[in-house]
Chains A and B, each alone.
Chain A
Amino acid sequence: MAHTSRNTTLPGGVPKLSRSAVYKKRALYKRKKVATVPAVKEAALTKTKTVAGEKNGGTRVVAVQKSPRFYPTEDSKTPLKNRRVIKPTKLRTTIVPGSVVILLAGSHRGKRVVVLKQLPSGLLLVTGPYKINGVPLRRVDQTYVIATSTKVDLPALPAIGDEIFKRKGKPTKNEKEMFVDNAGDNSYKISAEKVALQKEIDALVVPAVKKVDMLQSYLRSRFTLTKGQFPHEMQF
């Protein structure tokens, strides 16, 4: 039956009992396990191949694995294996899907907005809802946000990832086109897919908002500071 360690660690990180003392304590002299090493099948290094031609001796002994054509002049050290596991950013405990949050930066600063979820990139997926305050499905970093204690009871939402927010890269200029005035409009246009997704999300979130008294007008209003109000002294 398994037991905790029969040894203890003294302050300083030093084990109390020596290796031999632990051996005695565990009575390993009684419990020596002799491991049966399986017989190693020696792989054949060479094989005989039949060779065509009369004068070629019929068979030839050839190495199974051909030696490499190239050796580096010096042995270089192999770099250590990267065991990094990438996880999404740790989300503040006060931010939960459905919590109302105040945006602090960007064109929508001061607006109160509903958090839908945390995306795999670590950013928060947020929406006004668009119908209420004009904030579309948007990604926001949690550091640019004040989390309030208000929470909206959200229904099950369709799965959304970071892919829909990926912007198409700028078209590479051809040599011929370099002197031609690039009249093409490279400004960002909202895709029809995004508009449809926004409508879908609004249809789910807006009724949930309307259920709470005054929550809709709260989301319509912007957050401001008045005289005597200091954010570090305020409870959100």
Chain B
Amino acid sequence: MLYKRYIEIGRVCFIRLGDDVGKSAVVVDLVDQKHLMVDGPGGLGRKVVRLNQVALTDIKINIPRGCKTKTVRTALAKEGVEAKLAATSLVKKFAAKNAKAQLGDFARFKNRVAKTASNRKIRSTVRKLKKSS
């Protein structure tokens, strides 16, 4: 099998480009070869997105094609999708990237100092191990 995650009705996806970056949504319908109709919790609502704006997750829920937003929301709550999403690497990586971008100059400095210190330790331990072997 070349692909593991398929675009299908009920596939939970993560929006990686555009205005709604970082939000997750469920595929509700297919518009054409390049567009999906998604519906997401919170401020996203129902929206048409391009295929390349979206990254697929492993999570899939059972919903009929083109169902109402209310149905989508109840199905998401029933499956506990929010908790599953928080565990996905896509969401975690996005959150980490965001947090890094929001760092101030002082925080960046502290991180850099900590990184050089840890790198130094790692290198010295590796060198010691090489010597002893």
Mark A residues whose CB is within 8 Å of B.
100, 102, 112, 148-150, 214-215, 217-218, 221, 223, 233-236
Contact = CB atoms under 8 A, between A and B. Distances in A.
B33 interface: no
A148 B113 contact: no
A235 B102 contact: yes
Interface residues of B, number: 9
Interface of B: 101-106, 109-110, 113
Contacts of B101: 233, 235
A126 to B, nearest CB: 16
B104 A235 contact: yes
Contact of B113 (A112, A149, A217, A233): A217
B118 to A, nearest CB: 15
A148 B113 CA distance: 18
Contacts, number: 31
Contact of B105 (A102, A217, A233): A102
A148 B105 contact: yes
B91 to A, nearest CB: 22
B104 A148 contact: yes
Contacts of B113: 214, 217
A236 B105 contact: yes
Nearest to B103: A235
B117 to A, nearest CB: 12
Nearest to A151: B106
Contacts of B106: 100, 148-150, 215, 218
A103 to B, nearest CB: 13
A132 B101 CA distance: 29
A9 B110 CA distance: 59
Contacts of B103: 235
A212 to B, nearest CB: 9
6 contacts: A148-B104, A148-B105, A149-B105, A214-B110, A218-B106, A234-B105
Nearest 8 CB-CB pairings of A with B: A149-B104, A150-B106, A148-B105, A236-B105, A218-B109, A235-B102, A214-B110, A218-B106
B119 to A, nearest CB: 15
